[in-house]
Homo-oligomer: A and B are copies of this chain.
Amino acid sequence: MATVTALELAKKQKEISVAEFFERNKHILGFGNQTRALVTSVKEGVDNSLDACEEANILPDIYVEIQNGEDSECKLIIEDNGPGVVKKQIPHIFGRLLYGSRFHAIRQSRGQQGIGISAVVLYGQLTTGKHARIISKIKPDRPAIMNEIAIDTNKNRAEVLNEDTIHWDKPTGTRIEVSILGDFKRGKRFVYDYLQSTSIVNPHAQIIYREPDGTEHVFERICETLPRKPSEIKPHPYGVELGTLIKMAKHTKARQLNSFLKTEFSSMGDRTTNAVIEKAGLEKNLNPKTMTRDQFLALHKAFKKVKIMAPSTDCLSPIGETLIKRSLKHETQEISPEFIVTASRPASVYSGNPFQVEVGLVYGGKLPKDEPVKLLRFANRVPLLYQQGGCVITSAISSIDWRRYGLNQPSGKGIPTGPAIFLAHVSSTLIPFTSESKEAIADVPEIENEIKLAFRECARKVQQHIHKKVRRAKTREKFDLITRILPEIAKKSAHMLNKPVPVLDPIITKIMDVVWIEDAVEYEEVPRPMVQTTLTGETESMEKKGGTITKSRILVVNYKQTPQKFNLYALIPEDAIVGTVTPKPSKVTDRFIKWNLDTIPSASKVDVYFELAGLEKGDFDENELYVENINPAYVIGADKWEGD
Contacts and interface: CB of A to CB of B under 8 A. Distances in A.
Interface of A: 1-7, 9-10, 12-18, 20-21, 23-25, 27-28, 32-33, 52, 55-58, 71, 83-86, 88-89, 92-93, 96, 98-101, 103-105, 113-114, 125-130, 136, 138-139, 153, 172, 226, 229, 241-247, 293, 296-297, 301, 370-372, 387-391, 394-395, 408, 410-411, 413-415, 417, 430, 432-437, 440, 442-445, 534-535, 538
Contacts of A20: 103
A127 B33 CA distance: 37
Residue from the set A2, A55, A57, A434 with the largest chain B CB neighbour count within 10 Å: A434
Contacts of A10: 85-86, 88-89
Contact of A2 (B57, B413, B435): B57
Is chain A's binding surface mostly helix, strand, loop or mixed? loop
A17 B370 CA distance: 49
A435 B30 CA distance: 10
A34 to B, nearest CB: 10
26 contacts: A3-B58, A6-B138, A9-B55, A9-B56, A12-B101, A13-B93, A14-B100, A16-B103, A16-B104, A27-B434, A27-B442, A28-B433, A28-B435, A32-B443, A125-B243, A126-B242, A126-B244, A127-B241, A127-B242, A372-B414, A387-B434, A388-B389, A389-B389, A389-B391, A414-B414, A434-B435
A24 to B, nearest CB: 7
Given A103-B24, A434-B435, A7 B138 contact: yes
B3 A128 contact: no
B23 A372 contact: no
A83 B58 CA distance: 60
- A-B pairs, top 8 by smallest CB distance, nearest first, are A390-B390, A389-B389, A435-B435, A126-B243, A6-B138, A12-B101, A27-B442, A16-B98
Contacts of A242: 126-129
Given A21-B98, A408-B410, A411-B417, A83 B6 contact: yes
A172 B6 contact: yes
Nearest to A57: B1
Given A25-B432, A125-B243, A129-B296, A6 B101 contact: no
A199 to B, nearest CB: 22
A125 B296 CA distance: 13
Contact of A16 (B15, B88, B114): B114
